[in-house]
Structure 1
Amino acid sequence: MPLDVVDLRAFYASPLGHVARRFIGRAMLRFWPDCDRQRLLGLGFSTPYLSVLGIEAERTIAFMPAAQGVVNWPSPGLSASALVEPTLLPLPTASIDRVVLVHALEETESPDDLLEEVSRVLNPGGRMILVVPNRRGLWARMDGTPFGQGRPFSRRQLSALMRAAEFSPEHWAEVLYVPPLQRRILMRSAYAWEQIGLGLSLPFAGVHVIDATKQFYRRAPLRATRRSFALRPILLPQPAPTPRAAKPSGSAGLEFPSPRKPHAG
């Protein structure tokens, strides 16, 4: 069942949602400390992070999937959010500098088509931040948060998807080691959980955060050529002709000499 925008907004308003936004947002800011003069697009439910990343951006847009719903963003001023089909974005090719995907890849039926569309709207050398639930993490195993919905991914699966869409991962972070429970003691010790998980490189982080760059040139696909083997006559070597004896003048053509008869005893 697709995520609903009302549930997403309620999650980020909760204490656990504040924890998720803080640690994911820190990883994003490490990758992109400055988006000055950049055209920034958020796809999925990315508004909690666009409010931090898009402060200095030239233009910031929030696209939300049709199956999820849309909310007005930002609250003051003109709205910069719209309801779209994620694999058919209403943007020209190479019109965006940076894209942030949150609660998007795990919810789509065709992840490869989604990344292909993101690659289309990004200009050459554009960058993408991808936030996806970790298949081995606790957050993907418990459905009390948005990261427990949809399809989680392993690191190998994400690498293959990005490579097929011509993205090159530049930085990779794993965050949210704290268990996804609304307990006050866990909320207070969330920073300690993150430090222990990062220090020991534990495999059960809740979320992958990847900074990837669109490659400048796309590989030209190799097309197999068909060879038609038509039936052709086979030329075999012929024996050399035996020379014929010349006839007297007036006779036409050449003929072989008659065989001699053996003499009788």
Structure 2
Amino acid sequence: GACIKSIENVLGNDIDQQIKKIYSTSAEKKTYPLLRDKSWDSEFPKVLEIEDIKAPTPGKGRMPEDELNSENITHKDYSIQSLIKPRLWDRTRWQGVGFAQFKSCYPGLYLLFKHLDIGEDIFKDLISSVGLVDSKARLRVCIVKGISVKNPTHYRVLISENMMTTPLTKRMTMISRINTMTPDSNVNLERFLAAYQACGKFYLGCDAMLKNIVPEHPQRNSLGIEMSTLDVRWAWEIGLNDVDCIGVNLKEDDPYIPSDVAEIPLLQLINSK
């Protein structure tokens, strides 16, 4: 738009072609191959520094029309979360989750990918951003239970960036990855949750990380990302403007709704469709 036109006014309409011509016809042109095999700051996690802010709460009812008017929004009012990279995740398929118990270590939750090498790349990227210890809770894992009355052992896992660790703006694009688990038993899930509740931490990793682990003597720095926060929710607790509403599929789910609870937030979400 305006910025491109300004450049043309100063440098001319074909400045890009002029620059290309200089470098393509010069007798002294040189190539400079990249010598690094990783970024210079790869050992330093990119932890965002943000001010302490009050956690936002979901509003009631539909969004006001004024908030939907894009004419009232400027560029600085937008933000896009960048921790989950769709192009990287789309190179493979997240097929499920597995749980692990280690001696003298926290329990582990491991994402199972169709292509182990790409899954490993995904977690290398996450570790480069949050570190081996997600001390700022930038990464968020949410387990949604009770998504099916007929199949009470089924649940859904959401992986996303914690919106409370990025500067809040009027509009935010949140990028998540979702997987529905359909086990015949909830023994493994409940065992993992009990272990997490006992120690307050868990490892988040991928199946490729499990290849070289010795269960009796695991190396902590190879088990994945150490996390202190895990959200476990019932589907009926998720309402209309809840950030976890993406974890409820109203077209396919038959959520469990308790009969002894007066207010069911999920009903607002159902009635809004």
TM class, shorter-chain normalised?
under 0.3
TM-score by length of 1: 0.25
Structure ID, larger Rg: 1
Greater RCO between the two (CA within 8 Å, min separation 6)? 2
Provide the TM-score with structure 2 as the length reference. 0.24
